[in-house]
Amino acid sequence: MSKEMYEDVLEGCALNQDIEIWADGDLTVVGERGMNLSGGQKQRIQLARAVYSNSDVYILDDPFSAVDAHTGAHLFKASIFLIFFFFLFISHKTVIYATHQLEFLDAADLVLVMKDGVIVQSGEYKDLIADPTGELVRQMAAHIISLDQVNPPQEDNPIARETSQLNQIEVTEEKLEGPSGTGRFSRKTQEEVSETGRVKWSVYSTFITSAYKGALVPIILLCQVLFQGLQMGSNYWIAWATEKSRDVSREKLIGIFVLLSGGSSIFILGRAVLLATIAVETSQRLFFGMISSVFRATISFFDATPSSRILSRSSTDQSTVDTDIPYRLAGLAFALIQLLSIVVLMSQVAWQIFPIFLVILGISVWYQAYYISTARELARMVGIRKAPILHHFSESITGAATIRCFNQEERFLMRSLSIIDDYSRIVFHNSGTMEWLCIRINFLFNCGFFLVLIILINLPKSTIDPSLAGLAATYGLNLNVLQAWIIWNLCNVENKMISVERILQFTNIPSEAPLVVEDCRPKPEWPLEGRIELTGLDVRYSPSLPMVLKGITCTFPGGKKIGVVGRTGSGKSTLIQALFRVIEPSGGKILIDGLDISKIGLQDLRSRLGIIPQDPTLFQGTVRTNLDPLEKHEDQEIWEVLNKCRLADIVKQDKRLLHAPVSEDGENWSVGQRQLVCLARVLLKKRRILVLDEATASIDTETDNIIQGTIREETSRCTVITVAHRIPTVIDNDLILVLDDGKVVEYDSPVKLLKDGSSSFSKLVVEFLRRSIQE
């Protein structure tokens, strides 16, 4: 590792400010799929990874779409500098840069313009821009239209003041935003928690009483007792009645034997049916409790918990609960009953051999106590070591393209083999300890049975009848096997109960607020006006962490368009999360049409709001199920919103139309198309309050202009809150809220803010124009 090169890359990709704030610096653990990173941070880390790789060819796929104007300009300059000049004395670098941001084109030696999958123009930027009929000029016209919206007063012309303004502007990021900086990213992904010591009795009692509050357990045990008594009674009857001195008729002998055997069969059938019933009900209740708890967990739980841990509990551990533990635990109880019944019988038939079994039992209990402390912890470690295998495999499959691009297949393969070896090592030791116990227990009981046979053979005939001696030998053999099985199973049951322990850990996850509060439900037509009032709003991600939003107080009038701007990490997305109660405020309140949203249920709140997230989410299924999962709208309505979002032509390319398949995470759609699908989904619902969180970051300028026009037209009577880095996206809004370090810096109409040349919003506009008007 080259430390000097590493530090230069961090500086060039504007990551130093992030690292300074993260609790563990550059050793801070990134969550699964970067869920605890903002969109801008993901892009900057990917850019840094590419630059640090010191490759001969770099392919950059619009890496500046999710960062603000200041950071985007800085990243572009710094990364190009790093790629071309940092390695100047080593070799020349080739950069292929795909982008919608036309302001960067003049830095390219060769520009390729694509349309409908075909290169329609190629050449130097100055030559292409000189062709008035070219595709680039057409796209640039849309870009200029976008720039024309940013029109500050002449006395504060940013171009004229560019030099002086640049001296005032630092092209670096300020503090990191809550979800990716001082909040969710200040702690590592939590290590998996495991209990220590013996499995608590509360785990056993919870498992036993989960189904029907344990009412069937005594009935099952009674069936086993009656079955065992009748079975042993039938054997004793045969042994006793076949003596010549008894003078029992054949009919009576067989009749009583049939009655006893038939009764035992009935009871064992009842035992099997009741056991299966209680096993299914118990596993269902435990699974439902775990899944319900996971689905209702707060977002911080998913930040710190990889999905592999959830999958491990809901698959391997749940399978153990379904198919193993109920029958193993019941088998242990049945074996104990059988053991006691045999002891009673043996004490009646041949009491002389009874002390031998007491000695053997004492030694077995000592072995069991010596073995279980180690075996129990090994069983816990087996469960913990399995999750990293699933996690690493899942991430490797998801990032296969990136792994191959950086030629890191060998590294990931060796890492996979390493964690499999860690798991196999624990499994081997776990199996080894089990065999250690089995060998000693079996040897001990074989010796005991050998002594029993010697005693029975040497007892005088007057002391015990030969038929009863044979019965005692038969049950002595069973007792030998039974005692060994009980000792082994007693240890194994505790090991298996760790699966129940792990599932119960996930049934007590801190949950979000209730979905519905019956005593405080809003009216069906709420919100009518869409007025949002923020009063002294304080937000933090944990009581031990600093405030992310600090005393936010402002009012969003109903039916107005509000733009929320600020440098990456200023608190924009945190404000949106507080509005949806993804994070509960630490202080202050949010009122929508005069109703405190903290007093109503989450379902009542979130179902009345609409959002287009920064990271568009599609689900495996069809186009229709992604747009209208609850099937509340007709096909005609869906086609209308598809036309408005410029998606109709794309959908019609597949003959299945609305039933065209969508792959997992929408991988068969581009990021821009996924954002348009999310936009269509929101327009279809027609909510009074709409939040756009970087909704058009991955869309070209021309389409963005069309979409913004559609949004303005379709949401003319709605309250629209737009979080955007593209200044033209918010420049025509009614009000602009400028955040910095979690505080309200400015809140006024864009015209008034632009009149003040020293305002933060004016500086953002100046930087955007300075970056954009290079031609």
Q: For residue range 530-588, list pLDDT tens digits in order.
A: 899 999 899 887 776 778 888 889 999 988 889 888 776 678 878 888 899 888 888 88
pLDDT at 258 over 80: yes
Residue of 499, 447, 507, 506 whose CA lies nearest to 476: 447
Give me the mean pLDDT over the 608-619 stretch: 81
Give the whole-angstrom CA distance, residue 97 versus residue 95. 6
Check residue 191 and give left, alpha or beta (phi > 0: left; psi -120 to 50: alpha). Answer: beta
Give the number of other Cβ atoms within 10 Å of residue 35's Cβ: 19
pLDDT at 633 (0 to 100): 85
Q: 172, 17 in Cβ contact below 8 A? A: yes
The reported pLDDT for the residue numbered 668 is 82
Q: What is the pLDDT of residues 345-389, one digit of tens each?
A: 776 766 777 777 778 778 878 887 888 888 888 887 887 888 788
Top pLDDT among 598 and 479 is at 598
Q: Which of 2-11, 149-158, 491-500, 600-609 has the lowest mean pLDDT?
A: 149-158
Length of the chain in terms of residues written: 775
- The pLDDT value recorded for residue 695 is 64
Residue 774 has pLDDT above 80, yes or no: no
Instruction: Give dist(CA 763, CA 359) in Å, integer.
Output: 89
Average pLDDT over residues 419-434: 89
Measured distance CA(280)–CA(247) in Å, rounded: 50
Query: 580 in helix, strand or coil?
Result: coil
Classify each residue of 109-122 as buried b or exposed e, where b means 16 or more C-beta atoms within 10 Å of its C-beta.
eebebeeeeeeebe
Q: 279 CB contacts (<8 Å, ≥6 apart)?
A: 322, 326, 327
Structure tokens belonging to residue 374: 């180690």
For residue 179, is pLDDT > 60? Answer: no
- Alpha-carbon distance of 209 to 223, in angstroms, equals 18
Task: Report whether pLDDT(659) > 80.
Answer: yes
Question: What integer pLDDT is reported at residue 191 of this predicted model?
Answer: 58
- Residues 307 and 590: their CA atoms lie apart, in Å, by 32
Q: Which of 415-429, 434-448, 737-751 has the lowest mean pLDDT?
A: 434-448
The pLDDT assigned to 772 comes to 54
H/E segment holding residue 747: strand 743-748
Distance CA 139, CA 130 (A): 13
Alpha-carbon distances, residue 661 vs 32, 409, 625, 633, 645 (angstroms): 26, 31, 10, 19, 19
* Contact yes or no for 696/707 (Cβ under 8 A): yes
Predicted TM-score (pTM) above 0.85 = no
Measured between alpha carbons, how far is 417 from 414 in angstroms, rounded to an integer? 5
Q: Residue 746 has what pLDDT?
A: 87
Residues 286-291 have a mean pLDDT of 92
Given the DSSP bridges, would you call strands 621-622 and 661-662 parallel, antiparallel or unpaired? antiparallel
Helix axes 216-241, 466-505, angle to 10 degrees: 170
The model's confidence at residue 36, banded by pLDDT at 50, 70 and 90, is: low
Question: What does the pLDDT read at residue 244?
Answer: 62
Q: pLDDT at residue 735 above 50? A: yes
Q: 641 near 672, Cβ under 8 Å?
A: no
Burial of 252 (0-12, 13-18, 19+ CB in 10 A): exposed
**Residue 19 burial by Cβ neighbours in a 10 Å radius (0-12, 13-18, 19+):** middle
Contacts of 718 (CB under 8 A, 6+ apart): 530, 559, 687, 688, 689, 690
At 470, which amino acid appears? G
Confidence of residue 86 (pLDDT cuts 50, 70, 90): very low
The closest alpha carbon to 494, from 440, 439, 430, 436, belongs to 430
- What's the pLDDT score for residue 183? 45
87 pLDDT band, cuts 50/70/90, is: very low
Q: What is the DSSP track for 305-342?
A: S-HHHHHHIIIIIHHHHHHTHHHHHHHHHHHHHHHHHH
- Contacting residues for 726 by C-beta, under 8 A, at least 6 apart: 146, 696, 697, 704, 768
Structure confidence at residue 418 as a pLDDT band (50, 70, 90): very high
Q: Please state, rounded to an integer, the average pLDDT across all residues of the chain.
A: 78
For the chain, domains (ranges, CATH) are 3-168 (3.40.50.300), 201-505 (1.20.1560.10)
pLDDT per residue over 465-499, tens digit each? 677 677 777 776 777 677 777 877 777 787 788 88
- Identity (one letter) of the amino acid at 186? S
Is it the case that residue 309 has pLDDT exceeding 70? yes
Over residues 393-411, the pLDDT tens digits come to 878 887 888 888 888 888 8
Distance CA 256, CA 269 (A): 20
Q: What pLDDT score does 285 carry?
A: 92
pLDDT at 158: 43
Nearest CA to 699 out of 715, 685, 711 is that of 711
The confidence score (pLDDT) of residue 314 equals 86
Buried b (16+ CB within 10 A) or exposed e, 203-234: bbebbbebbeeeebbeebbebbbbbbbbbbbb
767 vs 759: CA distance, rounded Å: 13
Backbone phi and psi for residue 482, each to the nearest 5 degrees, phi listed first: -65, -45
Q: Classify each residue of 511-550 as buried b or exposed e, where b means 16 or more C-beta atoms within 10 Å of its C-beta.
A: eebeeeeeeeebeeebbebbbbbbeebbbbbeeeeebbbb
| Residue of 392, 380, 382 whose CA lies nearest to 306 | 392
pLDDT at residue 197 tops 70: no
Q: Tell me the mean pLDDT in the region 658-678.
A: 82
Task: Compute φ and ψ for 105, nearest 5 degrees.
Answer: -70, -30
Query: Cα separation of 177 and 180, whole Å?
Result: 6
What average pLDDT does the segment 206-234 reach?
87
